[in-house]
Amino acid sequence: MENGAVYNETTEPEAKAPRRRPFGCTLQHLRGWRLAAKVVQAIFSFVAVVCEEIVDDCIYCSGLYFFEFISCSAFLLSLLILCVYCTDMYESLGKEKVQKLNFWAVPAIGAWFLLASIVFSATCSGSAVERAACVFGFFATFAFAAEFGTELFLRRKQNVDGCSENPGNTQSATENQPLNKQS
């Protein structure tokens, strides 16, 4: 008994500690085209914010201020969604909730960005920095729209692929039989 042979057969091996990710970040939930779309959205939104912040003077400042608010909000929201996908918050919130949030947030952000870009391009004085901000605003809008369109296409394709071979209402199907069958 002193050599510990009795305990070797009955004890369980020591459980391995879960591997820590650096800063809790991972890209396992965000692969392929979605990662590229999120990064492009964040970059274009950031460049639009930077360009509009460089504008020295404006004739109609209301368009600039509206664009500033929307582009900054879009940048921060795209970063937030990117962080949710890349951190432990994804598991905390759950896959369904995160994808639903992304599915509805992306077209809303894109629509507001489109409106702000149109308003700003209509009210800008035409300086190079203002035009660059408008261009990157439209690029960001296109990035948001492209992700939404791709997601919509994939959902529709998934729904079509998930349909049964016989979608008609057949009388022999179990769900069409009465619950209390009278003999």
Do residues 133 and 120 make contact, with C-beta atoms less than 8 angstroms apart?
yes
Do residues 54 and 129 make contact, with C-beta atoms less than 8 angstroms apart?
yes
| pLDDT at residue 149, rounded to an integer | 93
| pLDDT at residue 154, rounded to an integer | 87
| pLDDT at residue 126, rounded to an integer | 84
- Average pLDDT of adjacent 10-residue blocks, the chain of 183 residues: 59 60 68 87 95 88 93 95 88 89 94 96 90 95 94 88 58 65 63
| pLDDT at residue 9, rounded to an integer | 61
| pLDDT at residue 26, rounded to an integer | 72
Domain ranges of the chain: 32-158
List all residues 6 or more positions away from 45 whose beta carbon is below 8 Å from its beta carbon. 71, 74, 75, 78, 113, 140
Average pLDDT, the chain: 83
| pLDDT at residue 17, rounded to an integer | 54
- The predicted model scores a pTM of 0.72
B/e letters for 90-108, b = 16+ CB within 10 Å, e = fewer, are beeeeeeebbeebeebbbe
| pLDDT at residue 112, rounded to an integer | 97
| pLDDT at residue 71, rounded to an integer | 95
